[in-house]
Amino acid sequence: MYFSLGGGLLLVIILSFYEAGIFGAVQSGEETGKNMPVEVLPKGFVSSKNCKSCHIEEYNSWRESYHRTMTQVASPVSVKGPFNGDKWNLHGETYRAFQKGKRFWADLPGPNQSRLEKEIVMVTGSHHQQIYWFASGNSRKLEQFPFVYLLGEEQWIPQKTHFVMEPTKVVSTEPGSWNISCIKCHVTIGRPRYGGRDNIDSLVGEFGIACEACHGPGEDHIRQYSNLQNQTKKISKVSSKKQKSLINPRKLTHRRSAQVCGQCHGIFTFNNTKDGLEWNSKGFSYRPGDDLHKSRFYIRKSNQHKVPAQNLIKANPKFMEQSFWPDGMVRVSGREFNGMMESPCYQRGELTCISCHELHKSAGDSRPYKEWANDLMKKEMLTDQACLQCHKSFASKVVNHTHHSENSPGSQCTNCHMPYSTYGLLKAIRSHQISNPTVAESTDFGRPNACNQCHLDKTLDWTATYLEKWYQVPKPQLSSDEKSVAASLLWLLRGDAGQRALIAWSMGWEPARRASGKEWMPPYLAQLLVDPYDAVRLLAYWSLRTLPSFRNFDYDFVASEVQRLSARNNAIQIWNQRSQKDKMGSDSVLITRQGIIKETIFQRLLRERDDRPVNLAE
C-alpha cells in the first residue's frame, strides 16, 4: 500500500489489496451504527480538553487556530456555507444545499434519474473554504458534496474548480476519500480501518489537529503532574525529568522539530506494505520527537529512483510532475517540509518551521487572534527579521545587496528567495525551498522566477542582464521571444495551466502592479476568461475585477463556452474604449504606445499554448 499526500487526489493502491484478501474484515468499533467516523482515543491519549486546566493560554490560542477547525462535525456553529435551498447546475445535473432544523442536507442526482437526499455530517476547512461530507449509508464511509464554499468570497464553486485539474465533465463524490486520504492529516491520530468499499470503520483521536498531534500522547504527563500536584499545587515545580513524556518542539533539534510539522506538511509514502497495513488499523506510528524518516519515505527528486518512490510512481506515472517542478522544487501547497529539506538554511544551518511560525500566539503579540492565525507567523517574522535573525551581516547592507530601495517589495528577502511559485487554495503561495533567483529556472524548468513574477512587464533577457551585472549569474542562451516578450506573457499565453494560474494571480498582486504598471493587463486577463481550466478562469476574473473600469464586470466562470467568449470580448471592448494613456503599453507587453495589441504575435503565442493535461496534487 502506498500513499501520497494530496487533497482530494487519492493516490492509493488499496482496493486491490482488499480484493486480494490482504485486509480481511474489520470489526466494527465503538458506537456501532453511526454513519461517520467517531472520536475514540487510542491508548495513551487524553484529548485537548484535558490540557486546558493547566495550559489555559496555549489552549485558548489553539482554539482560535485553523488547525483546531480543520475537521469538524457538521453543526450550526461549524457550517459556514449558506444551506438555504440554492440550486446549481453542473454538467446538466442539478444540486441543492438545504437545511432542516439544525441539520444540513445535500440534494443531488442518483442512479436512473433519481434524486438523493444525503445528510452533511462533517466539515473540512475553516480558513479559506469549506468542503462538506455526507454520510454514504455504507459503514462510516463519507462522500463529498461536489460544491465547495469559499469563505472570503462568500461563494459556492464546483469542487474541481478549487484545483488545477484537467477539464472533465465527470462529477465524483469521492467515495471514501476522506477515510483513507484526508484522515491522514486533518485529524489527530486517524485510523482508516478500511475493510472494503462498504466496510470502513474509521476512528480518530480528535477531529482537527489538536494538542497531542504536536506534543505527543498526554496520559503520562497528566498522571505525573497529578501525582505531583498533591505536593506542590503548581505546574512550575514539575521537574524536567517528570515532563519527559510530553514533547516541546522548541526543545528538539531543528530537524526533529521540523518533522513535527512535516508529518502533515510533506509528500511521502510508506517504506513498505507492512507499514501501510499497520497505519490502516492503528494509525501512524510516528510520535513527536521520533525520527519521522524511520516510519515514512519522503519523496525528493534525489531519491525518486528508490523502491518506495518507484512503487508510487508505477501506480501513478505522472506523480512527480503533479507535485514537483522538473528540478524537484515543490509545486503544490501544504508540502513545506519537502521544500525546507532542500534549503541550505536547513541543511547547513538551524532553520526549522518555528524559526518563523508559532503555534501559540505569544503573550506580547497584540494582534487579534484572527490576524495571527492567518499564517501563524511570529509578528517580527513578517519583516526581513525572518532572515536577518541568522544572516545578521546583511542588516546594514540590505540595499547594496538587493539593489532596490529600502522597504520596497524588491528589497524584501522573501520576495526574492521565497517567491510565489507554489500553487494551492486558489492562489500563489511562497516556495519554502529557499533559493536564489535565476533565469535558468524559468528556461530549463518553466518555473516563474522571482524577478519576472514581480516585474511582469520585463523580459527574461532583462532579468538575465541584471542578475549577471549584480550577482555574476551567467546569462543563459535565450530565444528571440525570451529576449523581446515579457516573461509573464510567455507563461500566460503559451505556458501550461499551472503557469497560467500563477500569472493570473500575480497580475492581482499589488507589489507586481506597482513594479509593472497595470494599464496593459486587461486584454491578457480577458484572454484567460476563456481558458480551459476553471481555476485559471476564476483567478483571472478575481484579478481583472480589481482593475479600474472592471469593478462591476459581470462574468460567470462556469458559464457556457459561448458566454465566456462573450465576456472576454466585452472585457477587451471596455479596455479598447479607455483613453490612450490609460492603456499605455510597451514593446515587451505587445502593446503599442497607441494602445493597440500586436495581434499577430499575440495569436502566435496563443497557438503555442502547452495543452498537456495538468493535475496539481494539492
pLDDT in tens, 100-137: 999 999 999 999 999 999 999 999 999 999 999 999 99
pLDDT given for residue 138 in this prediction: 85
Contact between residue 10 and residue 26 where contact means Cβ atoms under 8 Å apart: no
Mean pLDDT (whole number) for 161-166: 92
Asked if pLDDT for residue 612 goes beyond 80, the answer is yes
Nearest Cα to Cα of residue 491 among 592, 595, 420: 420
Q: DSSP readout, 215-280?
A: H---HHHHHHHHHHHHHH--GGG--TTTTTTS--GGGS-HHHHHHHHHTTSS-EE-SSHHHHHHHH
Mean pLDDT (whole number) for 238-249: 66
Q: For residue 142, which amino acid is it?
A: L
pLDDT given for residue 162 in this prediction: 87
Asked if pLDDT for residue 337 goes beyond 90, the answer is yes
Mean pLDDT (whole number) for 310-325: 95
Mean pLDDT (whole number) for 17-27: 41
Q: Where are the domains of the chain?
A: 24-185, 216-246, 440-607
Contact between residue 424 and residue 339 where contact means Cβ atoms under 8 Å apart: no
Mean pLDDT (whole number) for 25-54: 78
The set of cell numbers assigned to 1 is 500500500
pLDDT in tens, 395-451: 999 999 999 999 899 999 999 999 999 999 999 999 999 999 999 999 999 999 999
Mean pLDDT (whole number) for 375-399: 94
What is the pLDDT confidence band of residue 581, given thresholds at 50, 70 and 90? confident
Strand partners, 530: none
Asked if pLDDT for residue 453 goes beyond 60, the answer is yes
The set of cell numbers assigned to 447 is 518555473
In whole angstroms, give the CA distance from residue 30 to residue 564: 51
What is the pLDDT confidence band of residue 244, given thresholds at 50, 70 and 90? low
Asked if pLDDT for residue 188 goes beyond 50, the answer is yes
Percent of the chain scored above 90 by pLDDT?
86
Q: Please tell me the least confidently modeled range out of 6-20, 254-268, 343-357.
A: 6-20
Mean pLDDT (whole number) for 164-188: 95
Asked if pLDDT for residue 96 goes beyond 80, the answer is yes
Mean pLDDT (whole number) for 322-333: 97
pLDDT given for residue 139 in this prediction: 92
Percent of the chain scored above 70 by pLDDT?
92
What is the pLDDT confidence band of residue 584, given thresholds at 50, 70 and 90? confident
Mean pLDDT (whole number) for 280-298: 96
Q: How many residues does the chain have?
A: 618
> What are the backbone dihedrals phi and psi of residue 295, each rounded to the nearest 5 degrees, phi first?
-110, -5
Query: Which residues have a Cβ under 8 Å from the Cβ of 463 and sit 6 or more positions away?
Result: 437, 439, 449, 451, 452, 455, 487
pLDDT given for residue 15 in this prediction: 43
Mean pLDDT (whole number) for 354-366: 95
pLDDT given for residue 122 in this prediction: 97
What is the pLDDT confidence band of residue 6, given thresholds at 50, 70 and 90? very low
Asked if pLDDT for residue 143 goes beyond 80, the answer is yes
Mean pLDDT (whole number) for 488-501: 98
Phi-psi region of 462 (alpha: psi -120 to 50; beta: other; left: phi over 0): alpha
pLDDT given for residue 370 in this prediction: 95
Predicted TM-score of the model (pTM): 0.93
pLDDT in tens, 219-228: 999 988 877 6
Asked if pLDDT for residue 242 goes beyond 80, the answer is no
Mean pLDDT (whole number) for 320-348: 97
Asked if pLDDT for residue 525 goes beyond 90, the answer is yes
> Where do runs of H (alpha helix) occur along 291-417?
307-315, 319-323, 336-341, 344-347, 369-373, 385-388, 398-402, 413-417
The set of cell numbers assigned to 226 is 497529578
